A and B are shown apart, each in its own frame.
Chain A
Amino acid sequence: MSIAATECLLRLHDEHHELEDYQSGVPRWCTGCGDNAILAAVQRLCRDENLRPEKTVFVSGIGCSSRFPHYMKTYGFHGIHGRALPIAEGVKMARPDLHVFVNTGDGDCCSIGAAHWIHAIRYNMNMTVMLHDNQIYGLTKMQASPTSPKGLKSNTTPRGAYLDALQPLTVTLGVQNVSFVAQAVDWIPEVLYDILSAAFHHKGFSFVRIIQRCPEWLPKMFEPWLHDPQRILLLNHERGLQVSPGLAKVYKNQERHDPSNLNRAREIASVMDPIPVGILYRNPDVPCYEVLRRSDQLRSADFIKAGLEAEFDKFTVWPQEAQERVKPHA
């Protein structure tokens, strides 16, 4: 509700941040880890959008993915296992003016944090969620995760995983109020950047599943997809991802998919080979929870105090009255 004039007035002093301004320390991920690619893309995004570091916050849970906030020179919250989303929702409700990013992994989001995930999609608060899906529990040294493919041999599944992998995309698309779902792979940095940028600009819960390599525990997992561009399906559209000509020459397997087509998005999401890359669904009209709940009242200390007093008064025992009530019987 600021005066319109201040918008055009006095933004003389525009700070411009370089990419290095967002770098905090050297990442301790393994060399070749896909998290590095995601970090680079996010830092580029912050620089290009000129996000003010004090207005940006990265929230994470537990896992290799969740080391992310330590390497961004913005505000960050490295929370407890599976609870990145509730913490991010709390941040957003208390400070709707901050840019909230969530870094979560396949275990953190789809296993222990699955309950929060479902409802976070429904709330549709304006935040960008990156699911670093490397299909393994990396930090705890190689256990099968919900997105591990069937037959994967790990420390907890020595005879191969028995179950088909969970599809995070179909799960997200199946929840009410879903407003933005996209998939990226960490080895095509240009597309990764475009999708993250679209997710950032979308007003609502932007869910981006980033299929990521783990060079330590699953070094050969994505070899076939890395070296055969035909096994990547680029989803292009004017309203979705727009593929540059250079990229189009290499990745010839493309499909024109309208992001407002929910049914087709669900069909595409159920297929894992070729890997669909692009924006599967986008609906800008879903209301955001923090906007729905925004109160017009000015929540000053006096106002809150008056409200609390009014509530407590409902249960207060007034000794005077109590005595009078008791007296007739006395």
Chain B
Amino acid sequence: MLDAPTHSENRGAMRSLERGSAMPSNTPSEAGEQAQVSFYLTEKRPGATLGSIDGLGLRPALFAGYRDLTKLRYDFPLVLLHNAPDESSVQSLSGLFDGAFAEMYGAADGERLRSYSLRMECEIRAQVAGGAGGSLTALWDEAARRLLASADDLLQDGLRRLRTSLKGDGEVIDCDGALPARLLGSAWRTVQRKKAQRFRDDINRLIAKLADILKADAARSATGHSAESLKASMGSAHGDAFDFAAMSRLLTKASSSSALHEGRRRRIERLLSVLRSQEFFPAFNGATNPNETAAAHSFVFESCTRALEAYRERLPEMIEVAKARVMAELEIGSEYNEAAHDPIFADFGATGLDPRYAVAFPDYLVCLNARDMLPAEASALLDILSAGLPVKILLQSDDIVERSPIGNSNFAVGLRSKQIVTSAIALGDVFVLQSTSANLFRLRDRIFRGWATSGPALFSIFSGAAGNAGGIPTYLIAAAALESRAFPTLVYDPSAGPDWASRFDLRDNPQADLDWPLHELPFEDEAHQRISETVAVTLVDFLACDRRYAQSLARVSWAQGNGRMVSVSECLTHEATGVPDKLPSVLMVDANNGLQRVLVDDRLIRAARRCVEMWRSLQELGGINNSHAARLLARERQSWQEQAQRSTEAAAASPAPAEQPSALPPASTVSAPEPAAPELERPSDEPYIETPRCTSCNECIQINDKMFGYNKEKQAFVLNAGAGTFRQLVEAAESCQVSIIHPGKPRDPNEAGLGELMKRAEPFL
């Protein structure tokens, strides 16, 4: 923001501030006071005591140090670097020069190089302020040409070294009316390029894989196996060594008809045509000529209604392409199942496109100017925001001090844009960023976050370029709007967290916890002593820049003003009751840096009061002086105090030590849990197999596959004990590799050789 000027030239300017020449104090002081009060209340100037401020070129006193912006180092002008990744593509000129200089820091002639670098920067800044634009290289060359007019070899060498360490080239833009559109536009383009790359890569991958499927099928088909195509695929070097006709005959006989199902082939071809002809991103392969791009839709619009129309028109196409992507993924993985998937895809997108699919498609950009906005546009804008469409809207306001639409004497500061911003925030899932153009550089990472969100985003920027401010530069107007809380910076980022504390951010306002920011104003008084006053920047200072409100201000001489004049912020803290005894005034400087005191009328005070009320409610939203939090804290504090009091009383009342807690109950002996699954009581008569231990070795199955069988785990069990002899059981038990077969008792007592078999069966009981 407005940092205190450090350039040595301006310190001198501060010291020479003098009190301006006073009006002749001919009239008695009471009449003068009457005149002041009546001016305050009615804006009329009876008598000649109150001078108008026309023609003096007054500007707020705090601007005194910033007469010549080209001699100062601040955020502007900006350089939009080509070919740099996201956030670092936006740099300030001073930042770039500092970076370049830091590389050469250790050089022996560092001081001299530093002075050269500052001179270059100043020269470039002056060029830009004079209206020149273009790339950094062009401006550098022009500036170098001017500086080198004094033909200094050392300078030339130093400049050359600086140029090599100054990395990157880009467009240089200053803080003017076109800044918001250019800065945000270039940010949008950077983000879109990345998105386009990802989309293109994915689509190309899908196209390549689908084409491969078709190609493989063609190779296996009858034409693929014909002698000509075989010969063509072999190449000419060893073509003579092969008999292609015979090869073709062999292949056609040997290969089974594994050609693609006709329905599947048609589906793949359809998918390929949809994917190839999509117009959402220019579709080119990295390998081929990047300048040949297929016709793509444009996504930049000048009006919300047109953007909404375009979205509606393109929605069927979007659905087609999204559907094609999903179907292609399934086809490539051979997972497409017609019976199950066809009905689903037939209705795909009937209820609108799921945001998960829409996120891959490009965002729409709409650049609006509040001045030209019709009511129909405003409602279309709100429609877009509440529908959650992926549209990013830049709403630029050049002039925020508008006459109230009703026509009474009140005027509304930034009314139109504030209405839209508050509606957008209330929706809850829209990314909202409100700021003046002066603060845009500091907010650059937030801007990129806004472009990266998948839903709608609203950027409301005050450019300050309305031209009502006389000679005051646009940057200062914008900065004044920020400082005076006329257009505070707020960021509402739904993706930052689930609650207001994480989403809503007022951090980028100067001294956000105060009503008005405080600044030190040093000046020289009548006795030529240096005095420093703490001055609050209020809405009135901002309005005082605007020539349209000159009639609400009246110049007052120092003699007349003493004792009754207070600052606007003090006045606001007192309620207005009846005839005021303290009148509000602001400090302004004229063209010679002479300090003037200027009386402010009631209309501006009322506007300032409303402004501070709005600011306070914003503060509460941002968690500063939040009334809910304060009440909760007070309640908690009270209950804690009560508790503390109670415990001290209790401690005082019972001097005896607290009795020992009753003896702990004896630890109950917990019996160890019984081993799970007690041994199954197997009848020892029935033959059985310990199936879980079976190794599937086929021994028993081979002996009798009616008696023994495999279960679902391919482990053996006794399928049918009666389907074989006891001899077979014993043999199986003996040949079982892991000895898990238990033959049990024989079923048939008349079987031959039972005695010997029983003996053999004994180890397996």
Contacts and interface: CB of A to CB of B under 8 A. Distances in A.
Nearest to A11: B335
Contacts of A34: 695, 697, 737
Interface in B192-220: 201-202, 204-205, 208
Nearest to A5: B356
B695 A300 contact: no
A298 B694 contact: no
B676 interface: yes
Nearest to A212: B695
Interface residues of B, number: 44
A224 interface: no
A300 B693 CA distance: 52
Contacts of A297: 286
Interface string A282-301: 00000000000000011011
Given A10-B344, A33-B697, A36-B698, A189 B326 contact: no
Contact of A19 (B205, B335, B714): B714
B698 A31 contact: yes
B699 A31 contact: yes
Contacts of A43: 714
B714 A40 contact: yes
Nearest to A23: B714
B578 interface: no
A37 B696 contact: yes
A298 B201 contact: yes
A36 B697 contact: yes
A99 interface: no
Interface string A168-188: 000000000000000000111
Given A37-B697, A189-B693, A227 B739 contact: yes
A322 interface: no
B357 interface: yes
Interface in B665-711: 675-677, 692-699, 702
Contacts of B715: 40, 189
B632 interface: no
A32 B699 contact: yes
B695 A36 contact: yes
A329 interface: no
B618 to A, nearest CB: 37
Nearest to B205: A298
Nearest to B357: A5
B288 A1 contact: no
B222 interface: no
Q: Categorize the interface residue count of chain A.
A: 35 or more
Interface in A165-220: 186-190, 213, 215
Interface string B325-350: 11001100011010111001000000
A6 B702 contact: no
Given A32-B737, A300-B208, A189 B696 contact: yes
Contact of B692 (A6, A190, A300): A190
Contact of B288 (A36, A188, A302): A302
Contacts of B693: 187-190
A189 to B, nearest CB: 5
B34 interface: no
B713 A40 contact: yes
Contact of B341 (A10, A246, A298, A303): A10
Contact of A1 (B205, B356, B675, B702): B205
Contacts of B737: 32, 34, 187, 213, 215, 226
A7 B201 CA distance: 19
Contacts of A2: 329
Contacts of B287: 302-303, 306
Contact of A187 (B337, B702, B738): B738
Interface in A246-278: 246, 249
Nearest to B711: A19
B574 interface: no
A117 B287 CA distance: 39
A13 interface: yes
B712 interface: yes
Contacts of B208: 298, 300-301
Contacts of A300: 204, 208, 285
Contacts of A215: 697, 737
A45 to B, nearest CB: 11
B317 interface: no
Contacts of B335: 11, 13
B714 A13 contact: no
A145 B339 CA distance: 54
Report which residue of A34, A40, A297 has the largest number of chain B beta carbons within 10 angstroms of its beta carbon: A40
B354 interface: yes
Across the A-B interface, the 4 shortest Cβ-Cβ residue pairs: A40-B696, A37-B695, A13-B337, A13-B340
Given A3-B326, A31-B698, 20 more contacts: A3-B202, A3-B329, A3-B360, A5-B354, A6-B326, A10-B326, A13-B341, A27-B698, A31-B702, A34-B695, A34-B697, A36-B695, A36-B697, A40-B695, A40-B715, A187-B693, A189-B695, A189-B696, A226-B738, A302-B288
Interface of A: 1-6, 9-13, 18-19, 27, 31-34, 36-37, 39-40, 43-44, 54, 186-190, 213, 215, 226-227, 245-246, 249, 297-298, 300-303, 306
10 contacts: A10-B340, A10-B341, A13-B335, A31-B699, A37-B695, A40-B713, A40-B715, A249-B675, A297-B286, A303-B286
